[in-house]
Structure 1
């Protein structure tokens, strides 16, 4: 057993976990944060993407013990109360989801992508960067539209703040 301590969605959490416990299982089973999905068990689908110390990671590839001392943001920690994050709002507005299973991972990967490309994004970049996230329903067209719209919204927000 290992004792883990981390900040998850702004809240400090601690607990004992088996050494082999994956971060995705710790979030879902120990903390009840079920928005982070387990999709493939092979780290290929991206349904489990969270932010670890500000960077998108597949939480099925990291042990909870490895994440101890880190700051984690899950899909549940992205919105500001009832106000959706711009990426969440864009997915809703541009119909970037169907069944919704991949959506949390897609959104978390997209937020990271937008943050790493403050100058803006183009369709080719979005498609290339989302290759690690699989959607079996949408064909990606509306996901790409949503990411581009959110990128534009977030860029304007940064320009206004400057």
Structure 2
């Protein structure tokens, strides 16, 4: 894939210095081969969803990339491992979580990757920063603003740098 596509990445961390980790990984993403541009939302503090543990720091990055979806997923998982990501159980606290949310208009459903991300429309910590970056974006379930309004039970706080 040589033509650039817009991809959206969900970033989160709730172990260690989460803000510093997210800033570092954003620098690493910006410098990675195949990443043309990288814009990021504000950081948001959110309570864990379907899990226990400390609050998360979350953001969404909009990437223009020449990487195909699985190649981008490989890059994201390599960055997670580099930052000490462990997967002891589902929704465990983590040093870094990078989710490929959207990749152009590609739809796929494989053992490794489902696009669009199957739960992005159910997570305020994804929808708020996604809406901040791209207010006109439409998902198959509706606009991020409308979907976010239906998730008022999920606590989210925009942080200033």
TM-score of the alignment, normalized to the shorter chain, above 0.5:
no
Specify which structure has the bigger relative contact order, considering alpha-carbon pairs within 8 angstroms and separated by 6 or more residues: 2
The structure with the greater share of residues assigned to helix is 1
- Report the TM-score, using the length of structure 2 for normalisation: 0.28
The structure with the greater share of residues assigned to strand is 2
Q: Rg larger in 1 or in 2?
A: 1
